[in-house]
Chains A and B, each alone.
Chain A
Amino acid sequence: MAKTIKSETDLTWKELEVGCVVSEAGNASQYKTGDWRSMRPIVDKSKCIRCGVCYIFCPDMAIRKTEENYFEADLYYCKGCGICAQECFTGCIAMVPEEE
């Protein structure tokens, strides 16, 4: 039987569950959507008013609150869509190209 620990690029066809059922609940959290990103959000803390509008608008809930109540992207999941930068009132988020 398939174990989701194994990467999708390692599984053989014989290891797949019947009908490709995913039998482990909630393992979508293992999926690194951050790999899709071509632009990375960078926060200028001097301009940030810690309003959390970026957190509210992020469609992937990929923004978390830091201990100092600032907001930052979780780069494991952030796809770099730029909605946070678009919605930010103070313009403190810049979208910067990912380097190779």
Chain B
Amino acid sequence: MGKRVGVEVSIAAADAVGMANVDVVAAYPITPQTHIVEHLSDLVANGKLDAEFIPVESEHSAMSVCCGSSALGARTFTCTSSQGLALMNEIVFIAASMRLPIVMILANRSLSGPLSIWNDHTDVMSVRDCGWIQVFTETGQEVFDHVMWAFRVAEDRQVSLPVIINMDGFILTHVIEPIEFWDSAMVKQYLPDFSPINVLNPDHPTTVGGFGMPGIYTEAKVAQNEALVKSKPHILKAWQELGAVTGRYYQPVETYKIDGAETVFLSMGSTGDTVAMAVDELRAQGKPAGLIKLRLWRPFPFEELRLAARGVKRLIIIDRAVSYGGPGGPVASEIRSAFYGEKEMPVVTNFICGLAGRDVTPEDYIAIYSKSEKMAQGQVRQEDYVFYGVRE
């Protein structure tokens, strides 16, 4: 068994990366990710971690270095937030197309402008289609566990894709939580050595990241899409085996008080805990509330979502990003697509809230529930999406 310690989640995340025996870390510090990078730098400088720490001059270089080191067969990690992700954007897409199993923690923060360092999901939604496996975490323990899981999944030769672990900035990065650290036997049992499919080696020259003419580009994209879609059974297996090691079993879609629920919240990341408190209160009032937590964002868990929402009449999608001029928040628009044409399609209401760290309390979620009920009863107009709590 691992050891339970009280520690800042960022420090625990960095320690997990170290325990995963990473070979190369290339990252540029940015709030609220800074403590993760700083602690990894400490571990390497103090001789506690035998890895190359490459202090690059920008995030664009960070991801470029990661591509190079991963292509050389080195276990590779980086970490960023918001503007840092925006700056590395070009290479994020390339990493996936080259099938390089890089692991990145994204300490979720709003994109400028106005300039903001606080938490929401506008950064990750800007790379929705980057081709990486993308997962959300709710607690510090989940972050720690998912570092091990991410290397395991990414480097699985049947997968060979990069993984983004989303962790909410400040709400997770800067809080102290009790976290069960894995011991080295657990890591050894769970995470095999990295055995890449292709390795850059001067003795056996190959070309990576070549160009593709119109005659081959479509085939390349189909192969890439298939790889992401087909990664799901390996993702599920890695969660199953993580459960065998830790006793904590994760699912692509998780539910809370879903039995008999008619109006169900859907949230991602650390929000889940707060929504669960609201669900408890609503249930105490005799209301048929429930909660679906979407852990896996890419590949999108269509079957699991439909199964979880079976019999649900109304879904309240909590979005923490805006799709300007679009059909609502990015999560709601995907959920609507997932249910479109299904026999029993729940009514989807979309509330955009918690932008740039604005506090959303259990009372707010109860108010959101009431507004959704009024929409259902026709007392207020059913809107495609609502900015909750905006001053009019």
Contact of A8 among B97, B198, B207, B216 (CB under 8 A): B216
Find out whether the CB atom of B223 lies under 8 angstroms from the CB atom of A22: no
A48 to B223, CA, bound (A): 52
Q: Which residue of B lies closest to A24 (CB)?
A: B206
A12 to B220, CA, bound (A): 9
Q: Which residue of B lies closest to A26 (CB)?
A: B205
Contact of A16 among B100, B206, B208, B219 (CB under 8 A): B219
A13-B222, A13-B226 in contact; A22/B206 too (CB < 8 A)? yes
Chain A residues closer than 8 Å to B219, beta-carbon distance: 11-13, 16
Q: Which residue of A lies closest to B160 (CB)?
A: A18
A21-B208, A22-B206, A23-B206 in contact; A16/B215 too (CB < 8 A)? no
Chain B residues touching A, range: 20 to 34
A8-B213, A11-B216, A25-B206 in contact; A19/B222 too (CB < 8 A)? no
B234 shortest CB reach to chain A, Å: 14
A8-B213, A18-B160, A19-B99 in contact; A13/B220 too (CB < 8 A)? yes
Q: Which residue of A lies closest to B213 (CB)?
A: A8
Chain B residues closer than 8 Å to A18, beta-carbon distance: 99, 160, 197-198, 227
What are the interface flags for A9-49 relative to B under an 8 Å C-beta threshold, 1 for contact and 0 otherwise? Answer: 10111101111111101101000000000000000000000
B272 shortest CB reach to chain A, Å: 35
A84 to B234, CA, bound (A): 56
Chain B residues closer than 8 Å to A28, beta-carbon distance: 207
| B200-247 interface with A by 8 A CB criterion | 204-208, 210, 212-213, 215-216, 218-220, 222-223, 226-227
Q: Which residue of B lies closest to A31 (CB)?
A: B213
Tell me the dominant secondary structure on chain A's binding face.
loop
Contact of B220 among A7, A9, A20, A22 (CB under 8 A): A20
Contact of A20 among B97, B197, B226 (CB under 8 A): B97
Find out whether the CB atom of A21 lies under 8 angstroms from the CB atom of B198: yes
Find out whether the CB atom of B97 lies under 8 angstroms from the CB atom of A9: no
Determine if B7 is an interface residue (Cβ-Cβ < 8 Å). no
B155 shortest CB reach to chain A, Å: 13
A42 to B251, CA, bound (A): 68
A17 to B97, CA, bound (A): 12
Chain B residues closer than 8 Å to A20, beta-carbon distance: 97-98, 210, 212, 216, 220, 223
Chain B residues closer than 8 Å to A7, beta-carbon distance: 215
Chain B residues closer than 8 Å to A19, beta-carbon distance: 97-100, 160, 197-198, 208
Find out whether the CB atom of B207 lies under 8 angstroms from the CB atom of A22: yes
Chain B residues closer than 8 Å to A12, beta-carbon distance: 219
A22-B207, A22-B210 in contact; A17/B216 too (CB < 8 A)? no
Residues of B within 8 A of A (CB): 97-100, 160, 197-198, 204-208, 210, 212-213, 215-216, 218-220, 222-223, 226-227
**Cross-chain pairs A/B with CB under 8 angstroms, 13 sampled:** A11-B219, A12-B219, A14-B223, A16-B220, A18-B160, A18-B227, A19-B97, A20-B98, A22-B207, A22-B210, A23-B198, A25-B205, A25-B207
Known: A18-B160, A19-B197. 5 other contacts (CB 8 A): A13-B220, A16-B216, A16-B223, A18-B198, A19-B97
